[in-house]
């Protein structure tokens, strides 16, 4: 198994470097991505960062070709190890200097520097060191044990895909979608039935004429809420009157606990100001004088 690993490692690394290198060199996205990388900050120029990213990509392609053609030669392996060490150092620097920036690892998408980027760079480093000391060639390993080789390559590919954050949308999201389809939506039925949430009552209140009438008095946001006999009571604090006549009041609204903005009809709200000190109702006549404003009936 060990000999299989060492002799097939060049193939895996060549595939990885060939992919990331080709994306860096040929993708138009490289120029758009470059300004977001730590590299641009290090070099103080996004043009230079683009050039360096493309040059790195070209280097990766060259090394990939070397790995494929002369796998028994220690030079490509050493180059891969050096590249992996360089990536690790770069990621460490980026993580310390600008954790928000993109790593530019495969230059195809905005990928934040996470543990996965580090793990992938470490795989490159270890893989490079392994290849540098390996003796056999990958083609002889494949021809000798095709079944084992296939299994190893599939496993290695799975590991590398899992470590590449920019491939998530090709496998992770579809996988999660499938899980929802098979096992059902996990948030189905977690809510308390068809009950109208308090937020919906607040939303209905804020779209009501009662709110418009009381808004100049209301000062706080929602202070407390509870339900009583089918009513939802929403309590606010406020100040009624101005200057020396100003007095603190509790503003209480009562709404049907089963209606929301989509229930249809006009919102019906009961409202009262209660003096915070005496507990007496304030401005009863003023509130009673607010005319109702019903929606125009729909034609047809």
Partner 1 sequence: MTVRHDRADGMRRRRFLTNAALGGATIIGATALGGLDAEAAFAAEPSLDPAIAKSTFVEGRITGITGSILEVAGSNGGHSRVQMTNVTSVWKVRATTAEVIEVGDGLYARGVKMPDGTVAADAVWVNIVNLDTQIRGIAKNRLHLAHGQHELVGHVAPDASASYAGRALTSDLSRLRIGQSAQVLGAWRPSDNSVDVVRISVGH
Q: Which residues of 265-284 are buried (b: 16+ CB within 10 A; e: fewer)?
A: eebebebbbbeeeeeeebbe
Task: Closer to partner 1 by CB, 138 or 253: give it.
Answer: 253
Q: Say whether residue 288 binds partner 1 (CB under 8 A).
A: yes
Indicate the DSSP class of residue 295. Answer: P
Neighbours of 253 (CB within 10 A): 25
Taking a C-beta distance cutoff of 8 angstroms, is the pair 252, 276 a contact?
A: no
- For residue 280 the two structure tokens come to 């007496």
CB 265 → partner 1: shortest distance, Å? 9
Ranges within 219-248 binding partner 1 (CB under 8 A): 219-226, 228, 231, 233, 235-237, 248
Indicate the DSSP class of residue 267. Answer: -
In sequence order, the β-bridge partners of residue 234 are 225, 253
Q: Say whether residue 176 binds partner 1 (CB under 8 A).
A: yes
Ranges within 64-103 binding partner 1 (CB under 8 A): 100, 102
Name the segment binding partner 1 (CB under 8 A); options: 48-56, 71-79, 154-162, 272-280. 272-280
Q: Say whether residue 296 binds partner 1 (CB under 8 A).
A: no
- For residue 242 the two structure tokens come to 């101005």
Task: Closer to partner 1 by CB, 188 or 299: give it.
Answer: 188
CB 107 → partner 1: shortest distance, Å? 15
Q: Say whether residue 266 binds partner 1 (CB under 8 A).
A: yes
CB 61 → partner 1: shortest distance, Å? 27
Size of the site for partner 1 (CB under 8 A): 88
Taking a C-beta distance cutoff of 8 angstroms, is the pair 97, 41 a contact?
A: yes
């Amino acid at each position: 198994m060990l000999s299989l690993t060492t002799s097939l490692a060049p193939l895996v690394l060549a595939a990885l470097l060939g992919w990331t290198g080709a994306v860096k060199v040929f993708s138009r996205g490289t120029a758009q991505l470059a300004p977001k990388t730590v590299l641009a900050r290090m070099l103080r120029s996004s043009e230079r960062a683009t050039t360096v990213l493309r040059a790195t990509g070209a280097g990766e392609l060259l090394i990939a070709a070397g790995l494929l053609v002369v796998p028994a030669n220690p030079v490509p392996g050493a180059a891969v190890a050096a590249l992996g060490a360089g990536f690790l150092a770069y990621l460490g620097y980026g993580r310390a200097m600008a954790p928000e920036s993109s790593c530019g690892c495969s230059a195809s998408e905005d990928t934040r520097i996470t543990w996965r980027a580090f793990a992938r760079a470490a795989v490159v480093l270890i893989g490079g060191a392994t290849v540098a000391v390996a003796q056999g060639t990958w083609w002889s390993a494949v021809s000798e044990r095709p079944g084992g080789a296939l299994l190893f390559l599939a496993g290695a590919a799975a590991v590398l895909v899992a470590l590449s954050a920019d491939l998530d949308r090709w496998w992770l999201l579809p996988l999660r979608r499938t899980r929802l389809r098979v096992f059902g939506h996990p948030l189905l039925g977690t809510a308390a039935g068809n009950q109208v949430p308090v937020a919906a009552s607040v939303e209905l209140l804020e779209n009501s004429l009662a709110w418009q009438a009381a808004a100049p008095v209301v000062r706080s946001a929602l202070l407390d809420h509870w339900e009583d006999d089918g009513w939802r009571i929403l309590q606010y604090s406020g100040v009624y009157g101005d200057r020396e006549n100003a007095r603190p009041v509790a503003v209480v609204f009562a709404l049907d606990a089963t209606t929301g903005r989509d229930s249809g009809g006009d919102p019906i709200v009961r409202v009262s100001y209660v003096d915070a000190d005496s507990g007496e109702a304030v401005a009863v006549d003023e509130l009673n004088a607010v005319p109702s404003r019903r929606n125009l009936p729909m034609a047809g």
